[in-house]
Amino acid sequence: MTPIRTTCPYCGVGCGMLVSREEGGISGGYSVRGDPEHPANFGRLCSKGAALGETLSLEGRLLHPEIDGVQTSWDVALDTVAQRFRQVIEEHGPDAVAFYVSGQLLSEDYYVANKLMKGFIGSGNIDTNSRLCMSSAVAGHKRAFGSDTVPGCYEDLELADLVVLVGSNAAWTHPVVFQRLVAAKKARPAMRVVVIDPRRTATSDLADLHLAIKPGMDAWLFNGLLNHLAREGALAWRYLEAHVEGFGAALEAVNSLSIPQVAEHSGLAQADVAEFYRLFTQTAKTVTVFSQGINQSSSGVDKANAIINVHLATGRVGLPGASPFSITGQPNAMGGREVGGLANQLAAHMDFTPEGIDRVGRFWSAPNMAQQPGLKAVDLFQAIGEGRIKALWIMATNPAVSLPEADRVVAALRNCPFVVVSDVVARTDTSVHAHVRLPAAAWGEKDGTVTNSERRISRQRAFLPPPGEAQPDWWMVNEVARRMGYGEHFGYAGPAEIFREHAALSGFENEGTRDFDLSGMITVVPAQAGIQVVRQTSISPTHWIPAFAGMTDQDYDSLSPVQWPVTPQGGTSRLFADGRFFTPSGRARMLPIAPRPPAHAPDAAHPFILNTGRIRDQWHTMTRTAKVARLLAHIDQPFVEIHPQDARRIGLKDGALARVKNDNGEMLARVLESREQQIGSLFAPIHWNGQFTGQGRVDALVHAVTDPISGQPEFKQTPVAIEPYPAAWYGFVMESSAGILAGKPTLAAGELPKGRGFITPALPGHAFTSGYWARVRGKACWRHEIAGIEVPADWPSRMRGMLKLSGDWMEMKDSGATRYRGALIQDGRLLAVYFLEREADRLPPRHWLESLFERDALSDAERGALLLGRPSQAVPDSGRIVCACFGVGENDLNQAIAEGAASVEALGIELKAGSNCGSCIPELKRLLQRQ
Ligand code: SF4
């Protein structure tokens, strides 16, 4: 098979990939490697991207449309959706329906959904989960530049002499861009890196200066920098006078802010603040990368503008190696911004202005143009909870996990009269509340485009047929639109046709007035009435869809990565180097920023500030990454990171369970002691959800407070309490991942597409306990770590009752009901084990038991050892996986270090660790320092 060029579906770096078929390989033999010709990654992939080939099994997939949990046909499902949406609109008006979409969608999916809602249903109620990650940057850009434009590109990080990373753990969240920065710094040791983050993270490892700022106080720091630049005579006055407005007010707002005051507000040492200011002042080629630590705040837009202010004040915008740089979280957050997937945007970077509404309305021939912005994500779900929205379609996202006050979101979904969920996965915390579930095509099965953080549009290309009855999202929306009576305008034959229309809209009556312009890629066919062309399609002999030439389907198929705006001469690496912006005056705007603290301050009942974020090897709600054992072997359970002094004071032990809580809800997580955490602060990951753990959803705690302009929630500063979880017992269940315990596969093996796996929904841990449980994938088994407060006396019988299989049970139970051990063996093979103890450290080593699931048959000694609860002889244990690319564990690394490997390079030679994506290098360095 000729390798297929496609794009990684995870983070906003947007790495290009080559996918090939390799007989006998894992997951039906699809291998994934970085595309050496893709300008985002030049062949590199991180641990998540490199493992994509192992996520292709059909395990857990939704394969057929369902209504109320019962399989149905596409026709019935789509008719039902269209009829219920029509009915709600007729009875309650268009604002009684909504779409909640996702940065996981391709631009073509997004475009069709946005067009249906804003042009034909006539409501602005389509918002995207990208609201949660970068809408503050969008608003900051628009206030400063008059457009949502990222002025620079990744190359700028390599060209800069100073890179400032603010609120970004890029080493884990955007690993390939981070590795480009690492390589650049290695090549030019004079380059300086400053990291501004309350935590010391893997990213800080690269920093010449780490500013462990007080959570949420970034605007003080950048305001102080603006004042410092003015005092040092470092303002670019000629640039300001020619190209910027508002600088007088912006400077006045900061002119009394001294370094000691900044240090006091931000919790930093004066010397560190002064050093940062010195570096910024003296370094013309400076890039400031900002991300969720800035955006996810009740004053995120102001913080973004405080950063942009210092770049405008020094004329460092859109120049090689000099720019502010917002880096997005999701693979197509940027594409969503382009099509208008945010409720307050219209389409193609046009807003709800009278001219914008008129222009887009004429382009679409839309009968019901929305006249005003719709509800932003948090407000949208509040409206659902209050009964104002009565029909909701959620596409490719999981708001029951990811939105703040997630328990209230669940309550809203339960009360909503009609919920549609289109998703790849059969069961999510959200889809269990859906009346209609629609099976979506997954990465590898769908075609379209995505745009990464540097405005680069790349193709995602299918290399697999959709399984079962799965369909791409654009097709579902198109079909519902037709059934709602808009067939004349929704007759798309495929993504190429949608993209051409999207590109044409971007250029429609643009004439250089809007930043987002793809018209250089296509040519609009001249028509008598505006741009509409009557065209025959299979749907209707007079089907009104704009027609475009200049990009054939073949051109679309072979589209090379390109940065917008795209002129006939090609893409654009940087914008604004000429000092012209998209404001009415053509000048950029500096804004006076009045810093605000986080909306909720800690108090006696909630003395800790909880920060949330991603970890290195998981993506979003784990539907794909948790299928790969080595990705879960780095961090396998939800955790809460706490400084050891705080842990000691509260009576928490490293590795034990803790309850984190406030008035919104609570979560259970493993304690991770770390000196990299500030005293008084906690960190917990966003990934774990109801399918992988009991009470592990951190966003159940986060307050639904948002930035007043962007509507982005404050995920980073939630006051909480933490206490030990008083478990009376601990245990685990392991089940073979061959799927036999979970009952019949939903597809017979013969029906499966060649080379794909079985569907094996694993045993839900909550069947065992109402306390703590977490599901972990091993190489040949699933493991459920469990703990509870009440000792479940009937636990063995419950376990047996769940297993419908014949086999030999071996069991051991003590008279005090404090210990149970059981193993199920069939034809000599181990199918399941369970262990329960009063004390966690009495449980046997998991790696030993995991190794037994890989055997064809157990020996007598191994059977005996099962009941004894310990191996008959030592079993090698590699330890927690540190290098996910090569599966290298902590114990093996420590041994290599003890035997003389004294550098990261030496560990790479010895064990290959750190020699692929490089994401684990900061951890390797820490292991080296420890010895
Ligand atoms: S950095 Fe990793 S997750 Fe992000 S796009 Fe590249 S391979 Fe995918």
Check residue 118 and report its DSSP letter.
Answer: I
- 199 CA from centroid of ligand 1 (Å): 23
pLDDT single digits (tens) 242-265: 999 999 999 999 999 999 999 999
Taking the centre of ligand 1 as the mean of its atom positions, its distance from the CA of residue 40, in whole angstroms, is 10
Phi/psi at 686 (nearest 5 deg)? -90, -5
**By the 8 A CB rule, do 8 and 17 touch?**
yes
- 11 CA: nearest ligand 1 atom: 4
Residue with tokens 């000599």: 828
Q: DSSP of 734-762, one letter per residue?
A: EEETTSGGG-S-SS-GGGSPTT-----PP
- Ligand 1 nearest-atom number relative to CA 8: 8
**pLDDT for residue 481:** 98
Q: How many helices (H) and strands (E) does the chain have?
A: 30, 38
User: What was the pLDDT predicted at 809?
Assistant: 85
* DSSP string across 356-388: HHHHHHHHHT-SS---S----HHHHHHHHHTTS
pLDDT value, residue 22 = 74
Residue of 414 and 549 predicted with greater confidence? 414
Q: CB neighbours (10 Å) of residue 53?
A: 22
pLDDT over 50 (residue 522): yes
Cα 172 to middle of ligand 1, angstroms? 10
Closest ligand 1 atom to 47 CA: 2
367-370-375 Cα angle (round to 5)? 150
Q: State in Å: Cα 801 to ligand 1 middle.
A: 43
**Å from CA of 47 to ligand 1 middle:** 8
779 confidence band (pLDDT: 50, 70, 90): confident
pLDDT at 744: 29
- pLDDT of 683 > 70? The answer is yes
DSSP state letters, 27-50: GGGEEEEE-TT-TTTTT---HHHH
The Cα–Cα gap between 64 and 317 comes to 50
Report the mean per-residue pLDDT for the chain: 90
Q: Which atom of ligand 1 approaches the CA of 7 most closely?
A: 5
- Determine the pLDDT at residue 327: 95
- The number of the ligand 1 atom at minimal distance from the alpha carbon of 49 is 7
Nearest ligand 1 atom to the CA of 175 is 1
User: What tokens does 120 get?
Assistant: 């034909």
What lines the ligand 1 site, CB under 6 Å? 8, 10-11, 13-15, 41, 45-46, 48-49, 174-176
Residue 11 CA to ligand 1 centre (angstroms): 5
Is residue 1 helix, strand or coil?
A: coil
Distance (Å) from CA 462 to ligand 1 centroid: 18
Name, in order, each residue with C-beta under 8 angstroms of 749's C-beta and a sequence gap of 6 or more: 758
The answer on pLDDT for 223 being more than 90 is yes
Question: And the tokens for 894?
Answer: 């420590």
How many A from CA of 43 to the centre of ligand 1?
11
Residue 733, pLDDT score? 87
Residue 3 Cα to ligand 1 middle (Å)? 19
- Ligand 1: residue of 6, 13, 104, 157 to mutate (most ligand atoms within 8 A of CB) is 13
| Cα 475 to ligand 1 centroid, rounded to whole Å | 27
Mean pLDDT throughout 88-93?
98
Q: What is the structure's pLDDT at 812?
A: 82
Cβ(456)–Cβ(561) below 8 Å: yes
More reliable by pLDDT, 458 or 766: 458
Per-residue model confidence (pLDDT) at position 547: 53
Per the listing, tokens 């981070």 go with: 178
The structure's pTM equals: 0.93
- Rounded CA-CA distance 6/245 in Å is 43
Amino acid present at 640: V
**Non-local CB neighbours of 24 within 8 Å, separated by 6+ positions:** none
Q: How confident is the model at residue 790 (pLDDT cuts 50, 70, 90)?
A: confident
Among 83-87, 721-725, 920-924, the range scoring the smallest mean pLDDT is 920-924
- Reply yes or no on whether the pLDDT at 753 is more than 50: no
pLDDT band of 912, cuts 50, 70, 90: very high
Q: Are 127 and 381 in contact (CB under 8 A)?
A: no
Longest dimension (CA), the chain: 90
Cα 8 to ligand 1 centroid, rounded to whole Å? 6
Which residue's alpha carbon is nearest to atom 2 within ligand 1? 46
Question: Both tokens of residue 911?
Answer: 């064990």
CA of 551 to the centre of ligand 1 (A): 29
d(CA 57, CA 34): 21
pLDDT for residue 757 is more than 60? no
Which atom, in ligand 1's list, is nearest to the CA of 50?
A: 7
For residue 244, with 0-12 CB atoms within 10 Å meaning exposed, 13-18 middle and 19 or more buried, which class applies?
buried
Q: What is the distance in A from the centroid of ligand 1 to the CA of 305?
A: 28
List, for residues 318-330, the tens digit of each pLDDT value.
999 999 999 988 8
> pLDDT confidence of 520, banded at 50, 70, 90?
confident
Position with higher pLDDT, 825 vs 548: 825
The Cα–Cα gap between 434 and 432 comes to: 6
Mean of pLDDT values over 6-11: 96
pLDDT for residue 715 is more than 80? yes
pLDDT of residue 765: 44
Q: What pLDDT shows up at residue 524? A: 53
- pLDDT of residue 581 exceeding 50: yes
Residue with CA nearest ligand 1 atom 4: 11
Tell whether the model's pLDDT for residue 32 goes beyond 60. yes
What atom in ligand 1 is closest to the CA of residue 176? 1
Mean pLDDT confidence for 121-127: 98
Q: Whose C-alpha lies nearest to ligand 1, atom 6? A: 15
Atom of ligand 1 nearest to the CA of 34: 7
Q: Is the pLDDT of residue 508 over 70?
A: yes
812: left (phi over 0), alpha (psi -120 to 50) or beta: beta
Cα(134)–Cα(208) distance, integer angstroms: 27
Higher pLDDT, 623 or 97: 97
Atom of ligand 1 nearest to the CA of 46: 2
pLDDT top residue among 767 and 512: 512
Alpha-carbon separation of residue 634 from 56, 114, 482, 778, 882 (angstroms): 21, 39, 47, 12, 6
Out of 512-516, 681-685, 734-738, pick the least confident.
734-738
